[in-house]
Structure 1
Amino acid sequence: MLMSAGISNSKQIFIHGFITVNGQKISKSLGNTINPIDVVKKYGTDPVRYYLLSKINPYDDSDFTFEKFEDVYNGDLANGLGNLVSRCAKLCENSSFDFPYDISIYHILDKKIEVSLNDYRFDEALKIVWTKVAETDKYINENEPWKLEGDKLKGVLSSSVESIRHIAYNLKSFLPETAEKIEAQFKGPKIKSDRSLFPRLP
């Protein structure tokens, strides 16, 4: 069909593994089917994207349960990325500093992420992003900007803002809605706090 349309044949076909539920194959007869539209309506599109891309192995069978999903949501999204963005934005809002945005600096895809994408290792790519999230959070905790003033405070906040802007850009392929929200919030020059990206689940 491709050749008849004057299009070259595919050089590579990516075939992912199966998704199981509690270790069992998904089957109507077992009554364990999950409607993805219902899941998206309840939790949002990006949280579902995140789980499927980060916790489902691209080449092997992987398991899904709502308990695992909610643990990942609270751990990685609410307490991880969401908390980092919220606390940094609040610290910036409480300061009197400007944070100029230079698109040529921040719109750079991490080379390791690019390699992972070329290998269809979306899970590995997101591990790289979340390592940056953890490192930025650790940087803020260790430098305690809430105790600083003047140039020292500006230096810590500027470094944190720079990291978050890089994180947002590198998330575009995976969590486009979230990346857009972060970029809009951290566009500068003034940065203000906003509602949480991922409200914690009970």
Structure 2
Amino acid sequence: MQPILVAYATTEGQTRKVAEFIAERLRIRGHRVDLVDLATPAAQGIGSAYQAAFIGGSVHQHKHQSALVHFVKSNRDWLASLPVALFSVSLAAAMDDMDSRLEARRLANEFLDESGLKPLEVRCVAGALKYTQYDYFKRLIMRMIAQQRGGSTDTEHDHEYTNWNDVEAFVDEFLAAAHVPGSRPVKG
């Protein structure tokens, strides 16, 4: 059976963590998985030998990473031939207010319009505030944004907002919608 591709672009590492979680959930369900960071040379060798794909990236300054956009545009033809799920990681998806959630969806839709990707499923995933990885100025800006949106302003620690149960549900919903063969039920 062909593997499932989990390809991602990340800036501070939260999208990598989400991609690794998705890959592990797929393995638990009996699938072979290729996990690929799109900013590495391994991304150049990706071909069309997959039964499905999860493609993801994070939003920074209202845009997804250029490596993600480049990969999707360069591989649009074969990606169109298989079921694809997009996961878009952002702080906007972490906020409880409807405006923020609509913004997260709008940014995902802008990526889809720009790249031409036509996924079967799209999930906006709550990201993280990685204060300890930011330089002084970015830490100040992110603290101000967090304060305006009700996020944590404690800059001494990182703050993860990802809802892992939601990500796991996303995996299961996509596998069911895409009719991906070979999934084993998860005992819980």
Q: Tell me if TM exceeds 0.5.
A: no
Larger radius of gyration: 1
The two structures have a TM-score, normalised by structure 2, of 0.21
The two structures have a TM-score, normalised by structure 1, of 0.20
| Bigger fraction of residues in strand | 2
| Structure possessing the higher relative contact order (Cα contacts under 8 Å, 6 or more residues apart) | 1
